[in-house]
């Protein structure tokens, strides 16, 4: 498929087609500097979350970049264990306070259930519906330009959509070659839900696969660039994370080449020795 610099969400909002992910980057100098380097490299889409604990440093880096607020697409997320209408309203206010902004471009329910719950999460449907109602209200008030979810599968998406009639603009999931979550993708696409791919390198484990090395040699690109190009050509929005300035810059350099369909299919079928989160 043709890869553009932006995806258009179902509500018409343009979202830069690569985001800088900040998961596992601690609050402080590292989060500040890596975010600032990303912005200096040309990223205009920054992804953070309350659970990451780095919203304050990310927000400071955005201000320090000197880039106008309306030129940076900022995503954050409600903690997975915090659910309910009033809680969502309160936590959103805290997130924009920590970031030092007046609005968000995208706000996500971080997960359908608390991280320490070892069930399928469907028992949290009512709580997610109440949370989603708060998200819809914040969206309609203009405090968030788009709203969505993260780590939701069809069984989690169905109840919130049926109860409210409001389809999330985005579902951010663990997704990379070898872990494409076909069921969630197949459910989401007809509904106009954009799939974002967090951990597009499987936190580095993908780089151990020999096929990635073969593709990198064939296209004269890095393994990371191959993985990101796969995501883009498959219609997913990747969120690469790095704290190394050179890698941050290289991860954005994926628009000058294209992979053929045969090679994309080979990457579709690789086997990775882990399950998605």
The structure tokens listed for 270 are: 């690789």
Distance in angstroms (rounded) separating the CA atoms of residues 144 and 186: 27
The structure tokens listed for 168 are: 């999330």
CA dihedral 222, 228, 229, 235 (to 10 degrees): 170
- Is 52 one of the annotated active-site residues of the chain? yes
Pick the catalytic residue from 52, 107, 139, 198.
Answer: 52
DSSP result, 183-223? HHHHHHGGGTPEEEEESTTGGGGGGG-HHHHHHHHHHT--H
DSSP result, 102-141? S-BSEEEE--SS-TT--S-SGGGHHHHHHHHHHHHHHHHT
Distance in angstroms (rounded) separating the CA atoms of residues 107 and 146: 7
Let me know if 124 is exposed, middle or buried by CB neighbors in 10 A (0-12, 13-18, 19+): buried
Beta-strand relationship, 20-21 and 170-174: unpaired
Residues 141 and 233: beta-carbon distance below 8 Å: no
DSSP result, 127-189? HHHHHHHHHHHHHHTTSBS-EEEES--HHHHHHHHHHH----SEEEEE-BTTB--HHHHHHHG
- Residues identified as active-site: 52
């Amino acid at each position: 498929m043709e890869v553009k610099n932006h995806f258009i969400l179902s509500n018409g909002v343009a979202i830069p087609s690569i985001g800088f992910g900040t998961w596992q980057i601690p609050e402080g100098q590292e989060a500040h500097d890596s975010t600032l380097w990303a912005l200096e490299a040309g990223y205009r889409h920054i992804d953070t979350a309350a659970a990451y604990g780095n919203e304050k440093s990310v927000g400071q880096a955005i201000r320090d970049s000197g880039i106008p607020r309306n030129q940076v697409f900022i995503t954050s997320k409600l903690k997975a264990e915090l659910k309910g209408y009033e809680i969502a309203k309160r936590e959103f206010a805290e997130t924009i306070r920590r970031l030092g902004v007046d609005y968000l471009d995208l706000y996500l329910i971080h997960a359908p259930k608390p991280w320490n719950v070892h069930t399928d999460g469907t028992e949290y449907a009512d709580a997610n519906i109440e949370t989603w109602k708060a998200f819809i209200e914040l969206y309609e008030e203009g405090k968030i330009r788009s709203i969505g979810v993260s780590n939701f599968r069809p069984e989690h998406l169905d109840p919130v959509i049926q109860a409210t009639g409001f389809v999330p603009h985005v579902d951010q999931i663990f997704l990379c070659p070898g872990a494409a979550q076909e069921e969630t993708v197949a459910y989401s696409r007809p509904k106009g839900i954009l799939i974002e791919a967090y951990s597009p390198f499987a936190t580095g484990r993908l780089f151990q696969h020999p096929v990635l090395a073969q593709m990198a040699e064939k296209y004269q690109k890095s393994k990371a660039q191959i993985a990101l190009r796969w995501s883009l050509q498959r219609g997913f929005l990747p969120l690469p994370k790095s704290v190394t300035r050179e890698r941050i810059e290289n991860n954005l350099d994926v628009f000058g080449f294209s992979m053929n369909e045969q090679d994309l299919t080979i990457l579709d079928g690789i086997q990775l020795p882990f399950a998605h989160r």
